Amino acid sequence: MSTTILSTETVGLSSGDEAAVQVRLCGVAPGERGSRAVTVRYCGDRDAVVAMRVRREDAPAPCAERIRVGIYESSRRQLPYPVFTGSLADCTSPERPERGFGNWTAQGDGDPHEVTYQICWHLSEDAPADDEADLTLTFAARGIG
């Protein structure tokens, strides 16, 4: 299975697919906030568990401790709710289980099923202005049964 890097805000998956979206947090000024929404659409003939994993690129530990991250999941049937809140270092720690964030079961009825992930970040007021990091969000659909 290969991972495709996408620049789009919508990721399409079927059973066994994996796709990645890169989020750049370059030049974030102290006190600055930002967010990005990514919609994951599953369409397949087999039920699947869809999950998001987050990997940090090129951010030293002190920087990653100062950037606060919130990940919220929503769909047409549910209001946004947090699946992670904490520092970027905690979010991307190698000790985190591989199960990912915001796991949801997509029905394999051939119809599209969507979940939107809102990724929000904030750099603390007392952080140096040169803090930056890149995130790779990987979405994977694993067939059930």
**pLDDT tens string 84-121:** 898 888 887 766 655 577 888 999 999 999 999 998 88
Q: Is 33 helix (H, G, I), strand (E, B) or coil?
A: strand
Whole-number pLDDT of residue 98: 56
The residue-averaged pLDDT of 65-70 equals: 86
Percent residues over pLDDT 90 in the chain: 27
Burial status of residue 124 (CB atoms within 10 A of its CB: 0-12, 13-18, 19 or more):
middle
For the cut 70, the answer to whether the pLDDT of residue 65 exceeds it is yes
| pTM attached to this predicted model | 0.81
Q: Name 49's Cβ contacts closer than 8 Å, sequence gap at least 6.
A: 103, 104, 105, 106, 141, 142, 144
Read off the tokens for 36: 């990005």
Greater pLDDT, 100 or 7: 100
Whole-number pLDDT of residue 61: 57
Least confident of 24-28, 56-60, 86-90, 117-121: 56-60
Q: Is 131 helix (H, G, I), strand (E, B) or coil?
A: coil
The residue-averaged pLDDT of 41-59 equals: 85
Q: Name 114's Cβ contacts closer than 8 Å, sequence gap at least 6.
A: 39, 40, 41, 42, 75, 76
